[in-house]
Every structure is written in structure tokens, then in C-alpha cells.
Chains A and B, each alone.
Chain A
Amino acid sequence: MKPRSFDYVRVKSLAEAVIALARHGTEAKIIAGGQSLVPLLNMRMASPAILVDINALAELRGISLEGGSLRIGALVRQAEAEGSVEIAKHAPLIAKALPYIGHFAIRNRGTIGGSIALADPAAELPACLLALGGEVEIEGAKGARTVKADDFFKDLYETALGPGDVLIAIRIPVPSKDMRFGFSELARRHGDFAMAGLAACRDGKSARLAFFGVGSTPLRAKKAEAALAKGSLEEAVAVLDHDLDPPDDIHSSGKVKLHLAKTLLRRIAPELAA
């Protein structure tokens, strides 16, 4: 299929982007990497009146260390992030997750910000952001704001981003030395969205477990986190029954997904041990 007609504007500045979005409201869609949006356009499942192309915005690029955080610009391509020394050093969980995203041709184009903004419940990066306790920088008609990952993912493809908002960057707290990271997912084929996945980190005091592919958003498993912080893996696995209630999808039942989530937790646990 071919897309329905739409108009297109390539904005030159963030301010211009915000104005364009404000003018067109819900009729406008931002295009960054386009790797999720263009399939929807091609299938006529999305029909915006106008695409606001933000690819020319230099202020959305770059990876930098700011204070205690690693700031990754929204327009950083996933392939660029894969090669980033800063990310490998300060956000090793993201470095572990990146190769699982689609295929290299997708990562050459797909952006960090786009993946977070779309918030596909089976995607890797939203779960990483959640596990890392990161933040999202947003620019909107009413100015700039920062939203914690825990508050960002609302429901299926629903986030704290409003129609006029632009996701500017994500911020990841630079981890303490004793922080351990674990990432794994189970996908039928290399590059597919996961049937179940887990992004996790743990230091001496606490653990954060963000599961993906098992609900309508990436999900923290807080009971399991508490059990794991106490040092009981078996209990953590057992209480996942209460943390997660995965719905059935065409590829597997919720029961299978829950079983896979438990298996992932068992498998990742050694990586999380100090």
C-alpha cells in the first residue's frame, strides 16, 4: 500500500518545531528516524495531515556527560549509539540492549528518542530507561520539562508526551561502581520484537527490573525487585506471578510469557550478583 497524502515540513529549529506542532495539533506527527512511523503510513494505519521532520535539529544530537547524568540526544541514531564510547562506559545496559533492536539497516536510521517516544511495549530502550531510572527531556508549547521514566510510560503507546511536545533527550544517571546490569530477551528470530525481555540493574541496596513484551508498557516488577534486593532469587521468581499478568498475543499465551519472564530473571540473576 501507499501512504495517504500528507504535507511535510522540515523544521530548522526547535522553536519552529514547537510552533508547527502547536499549529496543527493532533493532525501533526513528528518524524525522526521514521522506522516505526513510515510502516504505519504505508499501511494507511496512520494518516497525519502533516509530518514535522526534526532531523535537521542539531540541538537534538550528541551524547554528553552533564553533571551526574549521561545525556543522549533524541536524534542520536541507534547505530551511532552502538558505537558510542560514552554509552558503553556510562550506560552499559543500553549498550547491551542496542544490538537487539531490529537490524542494522533499521538502527542506521532509527533514533534513541523515537524509540522512547513510540514506547512500543516490546521494545528494548523504553525498558532500559525504566530500569536505569532515567529521565526524559521534553520541549513543548509551555516550555521545557523533565519527566522521570517511572512516570513517562502511561499505557499502550501512550506516554507523558502531549500532541505539541518534542522529546529532546534522555538522561541516564551515571551508575555507581557497584552497579551490575543484565539484559536479555527472547525473540523468535534475530531482530524481532521480544516475546519477553528483561532490562535489569542492581547495586548493593536495591534492584530495578524492567520487563518488556509482557504488558501494555515496559513494567517494573517491584515485588521481585524487593525480593531480589533481599538476596532471594527464588522468591523474586515466585512473586513475578503478582508483578506481571501478561496478556495473550498472536504469538503466545500470557502463561508462556510469564514463564519466559521467570526464565529470564533466573538467567540474568548471575550477571546482577556483585
Chain B
Amino acid sequence: MKIADDLPSALTALDRPNSYIGRSVPRPNLARLMQGRGQYVSDLALARMAHVAFARSPHAHARIKKIDAAAAKKTPGVIAVVTGPELAKVITPWVGVLSHLKGIKSAPQHAIAIDRACWQGEAVCAVVAKSRAEAEDAIDLLDIDYEELPVVTDAETALDAKTLVIHPELGDNLTFERKHEAGEVDKAFKEADAVVEATFVFGRHTGVTNEPRAIVAYWNEGEQRLTVYQGTQAPHMMQNLFAKHLSLAEHQVRVVTKDVGGSFGIKVHTYADEMATVALSKLLKRPVKFVADRLESFITDIHARDHRVKAKIGVKKDGTITAFEIDDLTGIGPYSVYPRTSGIEANQVVNLVGGPYKCPNYRALARVVFQNKNVMCQYRAVGHPIATAVTEGLVELAAAKIGIDPLEMRRKNLIPDDGYPCAGASGIKFEKLSHHAALEKLVKMMGYEKLRAEQAELRKKKIYRGLGFASFIEVTNPSAAFYGVGGAKISAQDGATLRLDAQGALIVHSGVTEQGQGTEAVLAQVAASAFGIAIERVRVVTGDTDNTPYGGGTWASRAAGIGGEAAWQAGKALRQNVLAVAASILQSEPKALDIRNGLVVDADTGRERITLDEVARVAYFRPDTLPPGFQAELVATRHYVPRAWPFAFTNGIQASYLEVDIDTGFVKLLRHWCVEDCGTVINPQLVDEQIRGGIVQGIGAALYEHCIYDERGQLLNGNMADYLVPMAGEMPDMEIGHVVSPTADSELGAKGAGEAGTAGAPAVVMNAINDALRPLGAKIITEMPATPGVVLKALGRV
């Protein structure tokens, strides 16, 4: 039983009375979720609400020759049958490119395919009916004539001259290419005592949010306003996009996001079917609801990973790494996803490979190509699991080759903890990381030597256990460098508005969103701490573009670090405003007063002077008693955006201990550890649970999850029985530790923690399997997921 306050030991103290920073405060919104009284979009019903379902292309690439809707239109309950060309009159197409990804290109994508479907699952016709079932009945009766076209499915041959070009107007199937060279790579490889090469293959997988994508759009013809209830991570971004493509002003669009049943990057993109739903509402002048069912989720929710990385490391006998080189190839489907593009994951791989290490010699090539499969885009820990598995896979292979302990190898090469600020070989900039402290903490936590002894002992009994490690870095708190500079209207800054209500409670409105990670708890903690009030008297409002400051939402581990800092600054500002009113009432000076425990007190003695509800009473109901010319301002808004660094990099290290059944190829996970450094820890429990959840998502990639396509571009396992997500039975217990290196860019010093678990877990599982099999002379496994078949093959058993 581990229900206890697990305070990390070395938190930065923001010591004030009512300081909740660093405390495991329970989230304020759990009771309603546990009682089944959450408000997910899929729960929502509005008067006159219709349901839309989509006919989807069964072919990966096909010309739509004819859609005969006569029978479908006569089906009971049907309100409208709408094709791509018909809907295109209401909504304009989009192109997923960003100007700072030099050379990236894509073709216009429509809400519903116009004359050609480019992947299995692309919507070709919409049916709006009184119920989802009736809409599906009508889809059964649609007569759609397709002419199948040749398909491009293999990324390896997508750029060959004889391969079909999916979008002829683009000239070729190359979406994006990046080359990077730093230091003296050829010389460094020549000087190496050993060079290890491997090809890493990462299976395509997807997010499988427990609540599928859901949207209810309501165009009110009388108000000339569109209200969209959407399970999204970025309400303001979506407001901008709905307005832009429906030719509305942004103030005509309101996006409301209440509870969201899981996001993980799946719900931060533009989906054609969601855009179509909004357009249909405008067309039909009534609320229209779309909830993706699980089967269509598998063929339309963005996929991710699916990279093939040929990689090379040079190493000296003493363990010094001399160079890294990678050649990354990834196929992203027929369109670059709007507005964040599908070039980011490969770009991140280039940025992050070799990131934890001193080695200055680095060559990278990344190519992103079009193909006739579902689109790929940013999913939790974008690029990190790939870069970490490649880097850490190479490091452990090199360590084995020269016969050095893998942790010694890291001690030798990791950037020293006193070596900051500095830049990595890819050009990324580090403010302050703690690789060595994290490693030493991990060694202690896991009892490294003892486990190695146990491993050796068990091997004598033919029990094969392995230990795998991965040091990693994580991109968090992105500045405008991520998207804004590329022309996307995705806010890097975020705001918080704090208001003292008429009874002296604190109401917080924030632009960041709650996806279940605990944003609202963190905002309440920060606001209560900054202002000086008990957290029970704080209410947080998020997810409503009509009622929150403009902001970016939740992605790239930004909510606590950026949204939290805005709330911190707003809390301090409101305190000054309230103290001004109190001083005026008390005929004192604001600086002689303080707010503690929800009371205005003498700053020196702590003696109570006036309650907050009394301040509010006077300010709101008896302002006539205040001095002439004095105006009480019981609201304060502040915004924050990181300026000193493009990203607040965090770091950490993970380890996995597992057992391989060499007769079956099955892997049993025994223990998992993670030490990470996300700067100031605002809520230790929430941080730890982000990491645990992230680790298990990474384990999914390492062992289970895989969107399996055939050569015709058909997804073969698009259901939850055949696509294997991690379930409780096979998952390990995980021990989490912290090192704290706050960012000096903000007063709170908090960096992000949402993706650290997912970044490192695939690498450590892969490394641990290879460690387990090493004495058996097995082939190295560099393929994910490591299925029993993959393991048996490496062992030469099949």
C-alpha cells in the first residue's frame, strides 16, 4: 500500500503560508468523474441535434467515379446526404506546411474527399440523420463506384523514379527532408576503435484514447455564431481554424472543452471529419454531433512513429563516443497534417539523437515521404522514443562491443552537470540538466549491483533476465520557436485571469486545458500559493474560448510550466490589487499588509486585519465608502511565454528489469525505474503519475502496439482485439525519483513532465531484452514491437 504523501526531497521552496507548491494536493475535479458525472463531449445532447456518420473509402487509393445517394436519402431518419463537392461550398481546404520547416510540402486536403480517396478510411460522403444508427443504415445504401488506383505503401520505395507520385502537382513523394552535419564526422569515425551500426525499425502505432474523438457543432443562424463542443487540447487553435475555413471572424466562433477522455496528442490536430461536422452544422443550421467509433478511430486518428533509422556510433576503447550518424526515413500518409505538419517527428529525431552526450560529431539525414496509409502526426513524446531508442540502443551496443559497463559508458559521455549552459550537436540549447545526478540516483534506487549479481546467478539456472537503461532529454515549455515562427496560429504564450468573487473566493480562468493530467489542480495550487488563500476556496475554469484568456492549450508538456507561470504572476498581481483595496479600507499601506490563509494580515506580525469577503463586500457593494478616485480592481490577468530559451529541455534516465522466456519469446516486465528532472515539482503525485502513464504508453510501443498494414494499404488489425494496448496484467510497478533543476526563465521554475515516461520506456525495454539475450549469442533486436516472433527469430528458434 503506497497511499502516502510522497514528497520529493529536494524541491525548491516557495515558502509562504498556503504554499501548495511541491505538495500532492488531490485534484479538485475527481469526484464528478468517479461518480459518472463528467461532461465528455460524447455525453452531450442538444435540442434538434443530428448525428453524422461518414462513408469511408475501403481502398487505400481510389478515384470516386460516382456516388448514388437516392436510396440512402429515402432511409428513415435521414436529414441530409452530403458529398465532398457539396460541402466544399461551405468550407475551404487546408495545406499542412510551416515556413520554418524548409521545403516542406503537401497538397490541399478537403473535409470530405472531392474526387479521390488517398487512404483507407478517408471520408467520401457524409450522412446526417436523427441517430447514429440511422445514419449508418443510410451509408449501407449508398452506391459508391470506385476505380482503384495504384498505391504507394512502402516508404523505402516511395521516392523511386518508377513509383507513382501521389500528388503529381508536387513533383515527387518527398514531404520534407532535413540534413544536419556538425563537427568532423568522417574523421571521428576513422578515429574510433569500434563502429557499431544497426537499423532500428519502429512500428506504426496510434493513441487509442479511451474516449474517441468527439465533437458537437452548433451554428446558430440567429446569432450568426458557431459553438463547438470538442474534445481538444487546443481550443483557441481550433477557434482560429474553424473561423478561417468557414470564412467567419474568430469572435463568431466559440470552442468549449469540458472533460476529455484522453488526448496524448491525438486531439490536437485538424481532422477532416471534425471539420466536416462543423461545416454540416453551418449548412443545416442545427447542432450536429460526430463521435468516431473505435473502428474509424483506428483508420483516422493520427498514427505515429513508423520510422526506419539506419544508425551508427563510433567509440574509443575507453568508452568515449566519437560520433553519431543517422539516416531516418518515415512515411506519413498522403497529407501532412494541418496545422502542425507531419514533418515535426522526423525533425525532432534529428534534434534529439545524441542529445544527452558531449559528442560534437553528428551527421543526420531525415526524409519524410507520402504514402497511401492513414496520416501520421505528433503523438505523445513526438520523436523522443525514436531518438532515445536509437541513441541509447547504440550506446549499449557499443558498450557491449568494447566490453564496458553500460552505466560507465554513460558516465564517461554524458554532458557534465556543471557543463551548462551549452548546446548539443544538433544545435539544441540546454539551460541546465542533471544527467549524472539522475544516473547516480537511479543506481541507488534500483540497487544496480545487486540486480547484476542476481542476473548472473539466475543465468546459471537458465533464467534470462536483462537490465536496460536510457538517458534521455525531453522538449518542454516550447516558445514560439515550435510553431509560431512557422506561421501557424498556435499560441506559445498563455494567460490566466484571477478574480476575487463576492465572498472572497478565487476564480481562475486559464488558457491551458485539462486532459486529465491535473492541470486544474496545478493551477489551483499555484494561484492559491501566489495569492495566499486555502486551495478549497479556488475554482478553476478552463476550456472555453469565450471565457478564458487566449492561450495554446495542452501539448509539448507546456501546461504547468507556461500556464502555471501565468497563474503565478496573475496571483501576485491580484494580491497587490486586493491589498490596495484593503489598505484603503484600513487606511494603511499595501506593503504593510499581506494575504495569508485567506485573511489580510499585518505583514510584520501576521495579525488579522480584515477578511477577504469583507474586502470583496466593500469593493463590490459599498464602493461609495472608499476614498474618492480610488477604484478597486479585483481582477488581474497576466500572460507568460518562455523567452530566454526556445525550449526548456528536461532530462532523465530510465531502467527496465525483465525476464525473457527463451522458449516462447515472451517478455515479462519485472520492474521499471525513472529518475527525471522537470525543474520545480508543483505536485509530486501528479508528476509521478504522468511519468508512470507515459512509461506504460512507451511499453506499449516496445512490446505490443502496431498498426499492421498490408501492401495494398489495408489496415489489418484496426480493432481493440487485434491492436494490443497495454493492460494491467502485464505492466510492472514503477519507481519514480526526481532531481530538481528549475528553469530560471520563470519564477516557478517548472518545466514539463508529460512525455518523459514515453520518451525513454521503449529504449530501456529494447535494451533490457538484448541484455537478457546477450549470453545466448542472439541477434540484436532493434525492431519494435518486440513480439514473441521477433524474439524467437533473434534466438534462432524459428
Given a CB threshold of 8 Å, the question of whether A touches B is answered with yes
Q: How many residues of B contact A (CB 8 A)?
A: 29
Within 8 A of A (CB), among B129-145: 131-133, 136-137, 140
A186 touches B666 (CB 8 A): yes
A205 lies within 8 A of chain B by Cβ: no
| A259 to B793 alpha-carbon distance, docked (Å) | 11
Chain B hits for A44, CB < 8 A? 136, 140
| A252 to B788 alpha-carbon distance, docked (Å) | 8
| A260 to B140 alpha-carbon distance, docked (Å) | 42
Chain A hits for B730, CB < 8 A? 189-190
B603 lies within 8 A of chain A by Cβ: no
A43–chain B nearest beta-carbon distance, Å: 7
Within 8 A of A (CB), among B284-340: 293, 295
Within 8 A of B (CB), among A166-223: 186, 188-193, 195
B724 touches A253 (CB 8 A): no
Chain B hits for A4, CB < 8 A? 136-137, 140
A142 lies within 8 A of chain B by Cβ: no
A5 touches B704 (CB 8 A): no
B722 touches A250 (CB 8 A): yes
B140 touches A256 (CB 8 A): no
A263 touches B664 (CB 8 A): yes
| A266 to B663 alpha-carbon distance, docked (Å) | 10
B666 touches A251 (CB 8 A): no
Known: A252-B789, A259-B797, A263-B663. A2 touches B136 (CB 8 A): yes
Chain A hits for B666, CB < 8 A? 186
A250 touches B716 (CB 8 A): yes
Known: A189-B704, A191-B729. A256 touches B295 (CB 8 A): no
Q: How many residues of A contact B (CB 8 A)?
A: 26
A190 touches B792 (CB 8 A): no
Chain A hits for B719, CB < 8 A? 43
B34 lies within 8 A of chain A by Cβ: no
Chain A binding surface, main DSSP class: loop
Contact with A along B760-798 (1 / 0, CB 8 A): 000000000000000000000000000111001000011
B717 lies within 8 A of chain A by Cβ: yes
A255 lies within 8 A of chain B by Cβ: yes
A162 lies within 8 A of chain B by Cβ: no
Chain A hits for B798, CB < 8 A? 253, 255-256, 259
Chain A hits for B792, CB < 8 A? 256, 259
| A266 to B661 alpha-carbon distance, docked (Å) | 14
A190–chain B nearest beta-carbon distance, Å: 3
Contact with B along A26-49 (1 / 0, CB 8 A): 000000000000000001100000
Chain A hits for B665, CB < 8 A? 256
B47 lies within 8 A of chain A by Cβ: no
Chain A hits for B704, CB < 8 A? 188-189
| A252 to B797 alpha-carbon distance, docked (Å) | 14
B51–chain A nearest beta-carbon distance, Å: 10
Known: A188-B724, A251-B787, A260-B788. A2 touches B717 (CB 8 A): no
B3 lies within 8 A of chain A by Cβ: no
User: 15 additional contacts, CB 8 Å, given A1-B136, A190-B729, A260-B664?
Assistant: A4-B136, A5-B137, A44-B140, A188-B704, A188-B724, A189-B729, A192-B721, A192-B724, A195-B788, A251-B722, A252-B789, A255-B798, A259-B792, A259-B798, A266-B663
Which A-B residue pairs are the 8 nearest by beta carbons? A190-B729, A2-B133, A256-B789, A263-B663, A252-B789, A255-B798, A250-B716, A259-B798
> What are 14 contact pairs spanning A and B, CB under 8 A?
A2-B132, A2-B136, A3-B133, A44-B140, A188-B704, A190-B727, A190-B729, A192-B721, A250-B717, A252-B787, A253-B789, A253-B798, A256-B792, A256-B798
